[in-house]
Amino acid sequence: MKLCKRLIIIVLCALLLPGCKNIIKKESNPESFSITDSLMNIIEIDSAKLSYVENEIELIGKVTFNAEKVVKLFPLVSGLVTDVKVELGDRVNKGQILAVINSSEIANIDNDMINAKANLAVAKSNLSATEGMYQGGIASEKEYLASQKEVTKAESELKRVKSIMDIYGAVEDALYFIKSPISGYIVEKFITPNMQLRSDNSSNLFTISDLKNVWIMANVYESDIASINEGQNATITTISYPNKKFTGKIDKIYNVLDSDNKTMKVRVQLDNRENLLKPEMFASVIVHQIKDSTMLSVPSSSVVFDRNKYWVIVYNSRNDVQIRPVKLMMFGSSKAYIQSGIKSGEKVITKNQLLIYNALNQ
C-alpha cells in the first residue's frame, strides 16, 4: 500500500515538473522595456562628445531700454497741459499726438504768421502799383526799387515765421501738439493734465524707445572682474520666461565700480523683436568663459540626480535603453562634464528622460 502511494507521488511530480520549469523560466526572463511611439514623440536624444570646458560666472542684472535708440521729448514752449493722450508703456506711431499744450507763445506765433502774410500781401500790392507808375513815368526808379525791397523783406519775414512754425510742428490757434518723432513705446512719462510748463523747464516729458533692441545691465563683483572680458558669450534668463534662454555677448564693460555695492557693470545687447523683454525686468546672466582644455560632456538636461548619484539614460534603440551611473567633474547650466561612466558617441536622452528612468526602476 505504501509502495503504491509513493508511485503515485512520483508520477504526479513527473507530470507537474515541466509546468514548474516553464513558470520559473518566464519569471526569470521578464519582457524587455520598449519606448512607445507616443513617448518617442516627446523625448530628445543627443550624444556624449568632447567639448571645450566652459567656466560659468553667474551675474544678476536687469533689462533696460537701449539708450542709443531712444528719443527724449522736451517742451519747446511754456503753457498749460490741457490733454495727455498716452500712458506709460503705450505703443505709439510716428506722428501720433501725445499731448496738447495751451501756450501764449504759440498764440504770438500765430499772430506773427497772420501779420507776415498780411504785410507780404500789402507789399506785393504796392509793388504792382509802383511798377505801373514807374512804367508810366510817374514813379521814379528809386521808388520802384524800394517797393521791390519791401516785398523781399515781407517774404523773408514770412519765411522766418514759417521756419519757427516748422520747429514747433503743427499748431492750431494757441495749441501746441507734442507728436512722436518715431514709432515705439512710451518708456518714460513725466507729464500730467493741468501741469504748468515753464520756459526754463529742463526735464523731458516723454522718452520713446522701439524696444526692438534692449540692454541687459549686469553687476560684476570684484572677485569676478578678472574673468570678465568684452566679446564673451552670455545666456540670459528671466523670471517671466524661466524656460526660455536669450543669448548675446558682452559688448561693453564700465570700468568704474559702484561706490555703494562695489560692483562693476557690464552690458549685453539683445534682440527683442518678439517684444518679450520689458524694461526693469530682473535677469540672470550666465557668462561663459571658454578654457583651452576639452572634456567629455553631455547636455545638463540629460542628467538625473537620484539616491545621491548622477545618472543618464543611454539610448541604443527603442528596445535597448539603459540607466547608467556617471561621475561628474563639473555641472554647468548647459553642459555636464563627465569623468567616467559613458563613452564619446554614446547617445543619451535629454528631454522627458525621467519618464523612462521611473519606468525602468519599477
pLDDT at 139: 80
Asked if the model's pLDDT at residue 7 lies above 80, the reply is no
CA distance 98 to 101: 10
CA distance 146 to 123: 10
pLDDT band at 292 (very low <50, low <70, confident <90, very high): confident
Q: What is the mean pLDDT of residues 15-32?
A: 39
CA distance 92 to 86: 8
Instruction: Examine the domain organization and report whether 167 and 108 are in the same domain.
Output: yes
Q: What is the pLDDT of residues 62-75, one digit of tens each?
A: 999 888 888 999 88
Check residues 356 and 19 and name the one with the higher pLDDT: 356
Is 224 contained in some domain? yes
Share of the chain above pLDDT 70, in %: 90
Check residues 201 and 252 and name the one with the higher pLDDT: 252
Asked if the model's pLDDT at residue 106 lies above 90, the reply is no
Name the residue range of residue 224's domain. 58-67+210-292
Is 8 contained in some domain? no
Asked if the model's pLDDT at residue 11 lies above 50, the reply is no
Percent helix, percent strand, percent coil in the chain, to nearest 5:
30, 40, 30
Is 12 contained in some domain? no
Instruction: Examine the domain organization and report whether 196 and 283 are in the same domain.
Output: no
Instruction: Examine the domain organization and report whether 158 and 181 are in the same domain.
Output: no
Three-state secondary structure readout of 289-333: EEEEEEEEEEEHHHCEEECCEEEEEEEEECCEEEEEEEEEEEECC
Instruction: Examine the domain organization and report whether 125 and 190 are in the same domain.
Output: no
Q: What is the mean pLDDT of residues 201-219?
A: 90
DSSP track, 241-257 = -TT--EEEEEEEEEEEE
Instruction: Examine the domain organization and report whether 146 and 187 are in the same domain.
Output: no
Q: How many residues does the chain have?
A: 362
Tell me, what CATH number does 233's domain have? 2.40.30.170
Beta carbons within 10 angstroms of residue 100's beta carbon? 19
Name the residue among 59, 84, 60, 61 with its Cα closest to residue 73.
Answer: 84
Mean pLDDT of the chain: 84
Q: What is the mean pLDDT of residues 248-254?
A: 94
Share of the chain above pLDDT 90, in %: 43
CA distance 251 to 287: 12
Instruction: Examine the domain organization and report whether 246 and 342 are in the same domain.
Output: no
3-state secondary structure of 74: coil
What CA–CA distances, in Å, run from 40 to 132, 300, 347, 356? 98, 20, 14, 11
Q: What is the pLDDT of residues 320-329, one digit of tens each?
A: 999 999 999 8
3-state secondary structure of 212: coil
CA angle 64, 92, 213 (to 5 degrees): 30
Instruction: Examine the domain organization and report whether 180 and 83 are in the same domain.
Output: yes
Nine-digit cell at 109? 506765433
pLDDT at 189: 93
CA distance 175 to 9: 117
Tell me, what CATH number does 328's domain have? 2.40.420.20
Domain's final residue, options 275, 292, 309: 292
Q: Work out the burial of residue 260: count CB atoms within 10 Å of its CB; fewer than 13 is exposed, 13-18 middle, 19 or more buried.
A: exposed
pLDDT at 172: 66
| Alpha-helical runs (H) found in the chain | 2-28, 37-40, 104-135, 141-168, 353-360
> What pTM, to 2 d.p., does this model score?
0.60
Tell me, what CATH number does 155's domain have? 1.10.287
Nine-digit cell at 277? 523683454
Q: What is the mean pLDDT of residues 340-362?
A: 90
Q: What is the mean pLDDT of residues 196-208?
A: 85
CA distance 194 to 251: 43
Is 220 contained in some domain? yes
Window from 16-30, 115-129, 250-264 with minimum mean pLDDT:
16-30
Within 13 A of 301's CA, how many CA atoms are on the CB side? 12
Domain's final residue, options 183, 203, 223: 203
pLDDT at 265: 94
Asked if the model's pLDDT at residue 349 lies above 70, the reply is yes
Nine-digit cell at 148? 521791390
pLDDT band at 262 (very low <50, low <70, confident <90, very high): confident
Residue 290 near residue 52, CB atoms below 8 Å: yes
Instruction: Examine the domain organization and report whether 228 and 257 are in the same domain.
Output: yes
Is 23 contained in some domain? no
Asked if the model's pLDDT at residue 306 lies above 60, the reply is yes
Is 32 contained in some domain? no
| Domain count within the chain | 4
pLDDT at 252: 94
CA distance 342 to 95: 63
CA angle 111, 115, 117 (to 5 degrees): 120
Is 338 contained in some domain? yes
- Evaluated on CA atoms 145, 149, 151, 155, the torsion sign reads positive
pLDDT band at 109 (very low <50, low <70, confident <90, very high): confident
Is 13 contained in some domain? no
Q: What is the mean pLDDT of residues 235-245?
A: 91
Phi, psi of 204 (to 5 degrees): -75, 150
Instruction: Examine the domain organization and report whether 218 and 287 are in the same domain.
Output: yes
Asked if the model's pLDDT at residue 41 lies above 80, the reply is yes
Name the residue among 121, 117, 111 with its Cα closest to residue 158.
Answer: 117
pLDDT at 170: 56
Domain's final residue, options 185, 203, 221: 203
Tell me, what CATH number does 85's domain have? 2.40.50.100
CA distance 349 to 344: 15
Check residues 37 and 1 and name the one with the higher pLDDT: 37
3-state secondary structure of 72: strand
pLDDT at 92: 93
Residue 304 near residue 26, CB atoms below 8 Å: no
Name the residue among 178, 120, 179, 177 with its Cα closest to residue 148.
Answer: 120
pLDDT at 351: 92
